[in-house]
A and B are shown apart, each in its own frame.
Chain A
Amino acid sequence: MQIKTMAEYFANGETPEVLFWVGCAGSFDQRAQKITRAFAEILTKTGIQFAVLGKEEACTGDPARRAGNEFLFQMMAYNNIQVLNNYGVKKIVTACPHCFNTIKNEYPELGGSYEVIHHTTFLQQLIDGGRIKIKEGGSFKGKKITYHDSCYLGRANDIYEAPRAVLETLDADLVEMKRCKSKGLCCGAGGAQMFKEEEKGATRVNFERGREAVDTGASVIAANCPFCMTMLTDGVKEQGKEDTVKVLDIAEIIVGEMIGDKTV
């Protein structure tokens, strides 16, 4: 894949339409890398001029802040804002709701104000604007899909409809879990839980959510967050359903369903 960095655009005196903020999970986690590539592929296919920061990107500081390490968070924020401001970045899209929340809500008062869009909202805009056309009778037609609201997109930022609107274009059978939208159950990763062993209890949060998702009878669980992805995948495994129930990011679902897709 040919993906240009902000530095390369800058060197040519050009400005991309949008900066794709990849995030740590999207950069390093093997499963999440697939999401990153899927979304980059969608951007490429739709002819959107986008850049990544590449090696200049760093953790937004979200897990450090939620764990209580405000000092480390502010250090990361300070550096990232410097990089973003130096390039004059105006618009950022990211496939991670944690990065989304931090850059959108927490960077402005530290000096970094940008238009920040989560990739599911971005996909909805591309579909609405006709830049993405979904195939008739694609591979998800009639399939049961259940959508898991991530906490940082849903409750934290009140975005419930955009991801669902994207999935509705697939002609699939969308089923809701009992706890959905503002009542959605967390996957268990937020608040820096991803980076430590869960506290002792009767069960794990992701097992509970995995069971609920599997109980819908859906063959696809649609996610919008790389951390939910890890958690739900384990949750489905715990139910012994990893062969019949796939956990996919919305970008991964959409990438193969676009008209003009040469990979099919």
Chain B
Amino acid sequence: MQIVSQLLFLVALGAAVYFFSRRAAGIRRNILLGRDIDLNDQPALRWKNLFLLAFGQKKMFRNPLVAVLHFFVYAGFVIINLEILEIIIDGLAGTHRIFAPVLGPVYGVLIGCFEILAVLVAVSCAIFLVRRNILKLKRFISKDLDGWPRSDANYILVTEIVLMLLFLTMNTADGILQSRGVPHYPVTDPFWITQHFAGIFNDLSDSALTGVERAAWWLHILGVLAFLNYLPWSKHLHIILAFPNAYYASLKPKGKMDNMPEIQQEVLYAMQPELAANAAPGDTPPKFGAKDVHDLTWKNLLDAFACTECGRCSAACPATQTGKALSPRLIMMKTRDRAEETGKLNGETDNKSLLRDYITEEELRACTSCNACVEECPVSINPLDIILQMRRHLIMEESSAPQEWNMMFSNIENNMAPWKFSPDDRDAWINS
């Protein structure tokens, strides 16, 4: 019987790891659909960002109350995973609480801490559910999240609460079994929290209690493995990608737009035609700006997969706040959807593109480049960079601009100012 359970565990674990790795490789492939860009400069500063922004969740603390609750869930997630290690060894080896005799009194303290964290995680997730579904915070009831994204968020929160309750149930039953001296249950120090809930199960027989403990143990670990596989299909992937995303975050002042060396070259030839004669003949004319995901950088696509759809960007966006079509959160969600879609094509074309089939010109035109979305994002996503690259495509590849912009361009070109004033009057303010 024991060997059957060990085999079942091995199969479940193997399947979970296999499917997770397959999905992870798929996401990696989708991110690498983007064009290459070198972001390995200044490693010291990048590590600092990783520690401050990802581990330290610095941006979350712009709202301290939510930050603390989120920190509980995050710390709980990371730390309780130490317990998962023991569960996996037990599951494979057919042992029970294998670390208990090894760690002695430390074991009791560890499990005690896990229990406290488990309660904090469950309570925090419950508060988050209330914020989403009862208090109905604006950024959570926004139409951005209609359909799957809204359910996704709720599924994650409910699952986390259920997993924590299973963990606590398992410990409660285990504690009673220990005190009754049931074989196979090594005696540890009483668990800090669940010892107080022994009353719930005290009336059960040893075998019934063992059934409860085993059921909770199995459901907990199967739930964890299932959640591991749900993760990369959901917005919850941020718990992993927030880390590389913080490391590769831009180190430049937010106001600086990326240079386009290919245009610089063209301008140089236009201004100094003698240089063009010596230029190496280019094989393909360069494409300007971004029309589809492969025109964006891999960092833009990493951004898209790291997005947890919290909506802080859109809540701060002047366009979103005044009812324009633009929502930076949707820019990220649509970019991810398109990257997924493109990944499935395996190099074939579907005659669709990120521009227009996903993101409209109207959305792109509404941006004031104010950087509020970039400033707000807790995981260092830059929606503005995508918007500006797509604007470059619209202007330079399609000559698609509002009439007023075309006038502005021609004024700058002819009068050296965006308005139609004579360049001779530029210093007229001095004597007026």
* Residue A157 lies at the interface, judged by CB distance under 8 Å to chain B: yes
Residues of B within 8 A of A184 (CB): 372
Of the candidate stretches A105-113, A243-251, A255-263, the one touching chain B is A105-113
Query: Do B425 and A192 have beta carbons less than 8 Å apart?
Result: no
Query: Do A205 and B318 have beta carbons less than 8 Å apart?
Result: yes
Interface size on B, residues (CB 8 A): 69
Query: Do B323 and A201 have beta carbons less than 8 Å apart?
Result: yes
Determine the residue in chain B with the shortest Cβ distance to A207: B322
**Using a CB-CB cutoff of 8 Å, which residues 72-112 of chain A contact chain B?**
72, 74-76, 78, 101, 104-106, 109-110
Query: Do A57 and B426 have beta carbons less than 8 Å apart?
Result: yes
Determine the residue in chain B with the shortest Cβ distance to A54: B427
* Residue B369 lies at the interface, judged by CB distance under 8 Å to chain A: yes
* Residue B416 lies at the interface, judged by CB distance under 8 Å to chain A: yes
Of the candidate stretches A23-31, A120-128, A135-143, A170-178, the one touching chain B is A23-31
Query: Do A22 and B366 have beta carbons less than 8 Å apart?
Result: no
Determine the residue in chain B with the shortest Cβ distance to A194: B418
* Residue B184 lies at the interface, judged by CB distance under 8 Å to chain A: no
Query: Do B362 and A105 have beta carbons less than 8 Å apart?
Result: no
Query: Do A106 and B394 have beta carbons less than 8 Å apart?
Result: no
Q: Please, how many angstroms separate the alpha-carbon atoms of A105 and B319 in the complex? A: 25
Query: Do A110 and B369 have beta carbons less than 8 Å apart?
Result: no
Our pick among A59, A74, A152, A208 for the contact of B412 (Cβ within 8 Å) is A59
Q: Which of B271, B417, B421, B428 has the largest count of A CB atoms less than 10 A from its CB?
A: B417
Query: Do A105 and B256 have beta carbons less than 8 Å apart?
Result: yes
Q: Please, how many angstroms separate the alpha-carbon atoms of A71 and B252 in the complex? A: 22
**Using a CB-CB cutoff of 8 Å, which residues 31-74 of chain A contact chain B?**
33, 36-37, 40, 52, 54-55, 57-59, 61, 63-72, 74
Query: Do B418 and A71 have beta carbons less than 8 Å apart?
Result: no
Query: Do B267 and A78 have beta carbons less than 8 Å apart?
Result: yes
**Using a CB-CB cutoff of 8 Å, which residues 305-325 of chain B contact chain A?**
316, 318-319, 321-325
Residues of A within 8 A of B402 (CB): 196-197
- Minimum CB–CB distance for B66 against chain A, Å: 15
Our pick among A101, A188, A192 for the contact of B408 (Cβ within 8 Å) is A192
Q: Please, how many angstroms separate the alpha-carbon atoms of A194 and B412 in the complex? A: 14
Our pick among B394, B395, B404, B421 for the contact of A197 (Cβ within 8 Å) is B404
Of the candidate stretches B154-162, B273-281, B385-393, the one touching chain A is B385-393
Sampled A-B contacts (12; CB under 8 Å):
A59-B416, A66-B369, A74-B260, A76-B416, A110-B259, A152-B255, A155-B371, A156-B254, A183-B372, A192-B405, A195-B418, A203-B322
Task: Contacts A67-B401, A101-B255, A205-B368 known; list 10 others, CB within 8 Å.
Answer: A28-B417, A59-B416, A68-B391, A69-B395, A74-B267, A151-B369, A195-B407, A199-B324, A203-B323, A205-B319
A interface residues with partner B (beta carbon < 8 Å): 1, 3, 5, 22, 24, 26-29, 33, 36-37, 40, 52, 54-55, 57-59, 61, 63-72, 74-76, 78, 101, 104-106, 109-110, 151-152, 155-158, 182-186, 188-205, 207-209
